[in-house]
């Protein structure tokens, strides 16, 4: 599976659990309370939600800046898979 397909699928999974609704329900996670898997998946979801998804560098920068907002969505998706 190539990277763009993974980003697209992660973005679609992130849309299933709206990050704005999840952020309103719970405060954003502290970086110390997040597992490596949750952080990586949150970064992937954030990259998929970047305003300019065509530019990989812009998506990576957006993911670096906004991944804590997507931790709740990542936890929900990882929890549903377990």
pLDDT score for 2: 58
Indicate the pLDDT class of residue 40, thresholds 50, 70 and 90: very high
- Give the residue, 52 or 41, on which the prediction is more confident: 41
How confident is the model over 6-30, as pLDDT tens digits? 665 666 665 555 455 444 445 455 6
How confident is the model over 48-77, as pLDDT tens digits? 888 876 788 888 899 999 999 999 988 988
The DSSP line for 20-63 is HHHHHHSPPPPGGG--HHHHHHHHHHHHHT-TTTT-HHHHHHHH
Per-residue pLDDT for 80 more than 70? yes
């Amino acid at each position: 599976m190539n990277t763009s397909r993974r980003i697209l699928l992660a973005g679609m999974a992130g849309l299933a659990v709206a990050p704005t609704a999840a952020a309103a329900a719970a405060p954003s996670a502290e970086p110390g309370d997040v597992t490596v898997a949750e952080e990586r998946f949150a970064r992937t979801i954030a990259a998929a939600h970047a305003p300019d998804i065509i530019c990989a560098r812009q998506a990576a920068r957006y993911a670096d800046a906004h991944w804590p907002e997507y931790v709740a969505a990542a936890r929900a998706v990882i929890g549903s898979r377990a």
